Amino acid sequence: MKKINYFLTVISICLSLLTFAEAAHKPQLDKKKGDVCSDPQQPASLHCAPAPSSQYDSQGRLWIVWSYAGHIYVTSSDDDGTTLNASVVVNRTPEGISAHGENRPKIVVDNKGKIYVSWTTPLKKRYTGNVRFSYSEDEGLNFSTPITVNDNLDLTGHRFESLAVNEQGTIFMAWLDKRERFKAKQKGEKYIGAALYYSYSIDGGKSFKSNQNIMSHSCECCRVVMDIDTDQLPVILWRNIYGTNTRDHSLVKFLTKEKSGEVTRVSHDNWKIDACPHHGPALSISRPEMTQQSNYHLVWFNNAPERHGLFYSRINNPNSSSENTKSPTSDPISIGHYANGASHPDILSLDNKVWIVWKEFDGKNESVWLQFSDDSGQNWKQSQILVQTKNGSDYPFLVNNKGNVYLQWKTRDDGFKLYPIK
């Protein structure tokens, strides 16, 4: 019975992903304007974009990146998304753009107001793509001609990129890369999964350094997440492959811009599955007052028969263990209601405060749930529903504006909205 429930849950996850992907691309009826999302005469609209991302800048302006009909658009708002300023096209020449839950356009803004965006453009074969990047140095009025970040151009996968920038303006990127798998196949050799690759830019995104392989045999289609530690170096979290097909999570903290530390295994759920879950983790780093160490707050999903659902844990010194030893993480805490398909969590930490949001479906409503801790994740308040919808929605994300925390959630009924979290 456990095996049956396990496979049914996997099938349910896959179907829910397909359902939302289809819903995101179906015509969406605006009662006032008619069927705007399928009318080619109508201008591009954020309401029709399937998978937006957003970030506040240091002045409190919200920036949103989204895609429509082969173009990346950047939009801003001065009232938390209630009204939008004019959109700017990033890529003048249209191209394919991956825009779904696990692989969407990204946006970051540095402390000088420079805007950086990234996305994946799929190629002519399934599961292939290139990582693309553009920047604006004039507050979003104009964007640079996009460049390809991966320096390998084989017809294979370079996808699921993550993007971050530190206080010095160094831009970091990491992604899942199948160049080694592609070469192994040409030699008639077997290669499991993909690999985690990395690059960075010190000239504002005009060029990127040679790509580095951080870890071979990663899971090939779950989102990669990155945050910047207090030493201004990146930390990356992703789903890895251990042994034959055990898909647990790994974390790496960089020692310098060029050198990564030891890869640390941070989940030990032992989910054995010969498939990609399309269900990546989330990461947020904070340094509580009066402490000398950063707290890395992690949340993830696994579906092993004996240990499944959403989990939270934290880690203080990831370079104190190797990939083959038990990680120095706190004991994982179960989050959400597994029976209601609790999924796709996001996490945000500020000083001692930690917020986690995720999605659930009770058979009628899709809901975003919230769990909160005010002591760095040691204890948690009772979980609660923040908002609900009936007709399809994107994944939930947390956005910070100078200590004010918002839920970003796009639904078919209400479009893109920010909800303040008290």
176-218 residue pLDDT tens: 999 999 999 999 999 999 999 999 999 999 999 999 999 999 9
pLDDT higher at 290 or 126: 126
What local confidence, expressed as pLDDT, does residue 22 receive? 32
Burial 107-124 (b: 16+ CB within 10 A, else e): bbbbeebbbbbbbbbbbe
Reply yes or no on whether the pLDDT at 249 is more than 70.
yes
338 Rama class: left (phi>0) / alpha (psi -120 to 50) / beta: alpha
Per the CB < 8 A criterion, the answer to whether 177 and 209 are in contact is no
Q: Which DSSP string corresponds to 399-415?
A: EEETTEEEEEEEETTTE
d(CA 147, CA 142): 15
Distance between CA atoms of 91 and 232, rounded to whole angstroms?
Answer: 30
Instruction: Choose between 290 and 214: higher pLDDT.
Output: 214
DSSP 336: S
pLDDT of residue 37: 75
pLDDT for res 55: 98
pLDDT value, residue 327: 53
316, pLDDT greater than 90: no
Q: Is the pLDDT of residue 42 over 80?
A: no
Please check whether residue 407 is in contact with residue 357, taking contact to mean a CB–CB distance below 8 angstroms. Answer: yes
149 has a pLDDT exceeding 60 = yes
- To the nearest whole percent, how much of the chain has pLDDT over 90? 82
Measured distance CA(312)–CA(329) in Å, rounded: 10
The beta strand positions in 263-352, using DSSP E, are 264-265, 282-286, 295-304, 307-315, 333-335, 343-350
The confidence band for 74, taking pLDDT boundaries of 50, 70 and 90, is very high
Q: Is the pLDDT of residue 34 over 50?
A: no
The pLDDT tens digits of the residues spanning 75-96 come to: 999 999 999 999 999 999 999 9
254 pLDDT higher than 60: yes
Confidence bin at 39 (pLDDT 50/70/90): confident
Q: Which residues contact 15 (CB under 8 A, 6 or more apart)?
A: none
Rounded mean pLDDT, 384-413:
96
Q: Which residues pair with 164 in a beta bridge?
A: 172
Q: Is the pLDDT of residue 27 over 80?
A: no
The percent of residues in the chain predicted with pLDDT above 70, rounded, is 88
What is the per-residue pLDDT for 293?
A: 84
Say what the pLDDT of residue 276 is. Answer: 85
Mean pLDDT in residue range 261-267: 94
pLDDT, the chain, mean: 89
Where residue 5 falls among pLDDT bands split at 50, 70, 90?
very low
Task: Please provide the size of the chain in residues.
Answer: 422
Q: What is the mean pLDDT of residues 130-152?
A: 98
* pTM across the whole model: 0.90
